Amino acid sequence: MRLLRHGSPGAEKPGLMTPDGSIRDLSARLPELTPGALDPACLKRLAGLDPDSLPPVMGAPRLGVPLVGIGNILCIGLNYRDHAAETGLPPPAEPILFSKHTSALSGPCDAIRLAPGSTRTDWEVELAVIIGRPARRVSEAQALDHVAAYAVLNDVSERSFQIDRGGQWIKGKSCDTYCPLGPWLTTADEVPDPQSLGLWLSVDGEMRQNGQTGDMIFGVAELIAYVSRFMTLKPGDVLATGTPAGVGMGRGEYLRPGQTVRLGIDGPDGLTLGQMTLPVEATPED
């Protein structure tokens, strides 16, 4: 099942995408797509709806952030060996954990607005894991039971803020629009193996990243079990699981106004977690 939010910014409504790619409005059955909607009983009820009984959404509406009320965006650094190598750093012995502020969230087709004063804004395609049940010191064997859905995430990063401004990664990761998420939530039952997905990203049509989640140093289940040792993961929390090689920092190329970033995640047997198309714009100085 693919759950989404459609409409203009601030006026989005919940919806679902049918297998044929059409969108149906859910607002008469679900007031909003919040962490509470990720409860297994609610997801089961939504999955039981007949899409033909729901009003169609005409045209090509804007899609917003697919979940409102996200509590935490937790991220894993250097979680692909090829990415660690391109940065010149050794693979970590334990997951590197940092966060993005929720004010960075933006929709899957909204512009990346380069932060004032930025000089090295970079791209990072990542698999996002959306927690559906509280996870507190869970085992690796049970970890995936706490996942409600998966999505595509671009961990946009201003490297000068991240690296040169006192060593706090969150400063380079949390600028407005630096966390595009979407285009929808693919429920976990549609993704039997999160380690069998392909991630890709292009800039102006030139492929920059092309990796596989099977190449993660720490897999999704291991990450959830690890993070839950230190904090309780709650419904609506988002875990960004790292990026493969091909980021701009590895080649000294960064985003400029007027460019277009496209990214997506696909799996076997026609599975797709969706694609995002993100224009790059400048933000005027305050």
Domain limits, the chain: 2-57, 73-282
pLDDT score at 286: 56
What average pLDDT does the segment 91-111 reach? 96
Question: Has residue 167 got a pLDDT over 80?
Answer: no
Phi-psi region of 201 (alpha: psi -120 to 50; beta: other; left: phi over 0): beta
CA distance 199 to 219: 15
Q: CB-based contacts of 213: which residues, under 8 Å, 6+ apart? A: 127, 194, 195, 196, 197, 198, 199, 219, 220, 241
Output the average pLDDT for the chain: 95
pTM of the model: 0.97
* Residue 82 to residues 36, 216, 234, 277, Cα–Cα distance (Å): 37, 9, 31, 25
What average pLDDT does the segment 131-147 reach? 98
Find the range with the poorest average confidence among 74-78, 161-165, 187-191, 263-267: 161-165
- Cα angle value 108/111/116 (rounded, 5°): 135
pLDDT per residue as tens digits for the range 5-41: 999 999 999 999 999 999 999 999 999 999 999 999 9
Could you give phi then psi for residue 77, rounded to 5 degrees?
Answer: -95, 150
Residue 185's DSSP bridge partners are: 3
Kindly report the three-state secondary structure assignment for every residue of 166-224: CCCHHHHHCCCCCEEEEEEEEEHHHCCCCCCCEEEEEECCEEEEEEEHHHECCCHHHHH
pLDDT score at 285: 67
pLDDT score at 85: 87
Q: How confident is the model at residue 198 (pLDDT cuts 50, 70, 90)?
A: very high
Q: What is the largest CA-CA distance in the chain?
A: 55
What average pLDDT does the segment 107-112 reach? 97
pLDDT score at 168: 76
DSSP character at residue 36: G
Question: Has residue 105 got a pLDDT over 70?
Answer: yes
Q: How far is CA 250 from the centre of its chain?
A: 22
CA distance 25 to 30: 9
The CATH homologous superfamily for domain 73-282 is Fumarylacetoacetase-like, C-terminal domain (3.90.850.10)
pLDDT per residue as tens digits for the range 113-133: 999 999 999 999 999 999 999
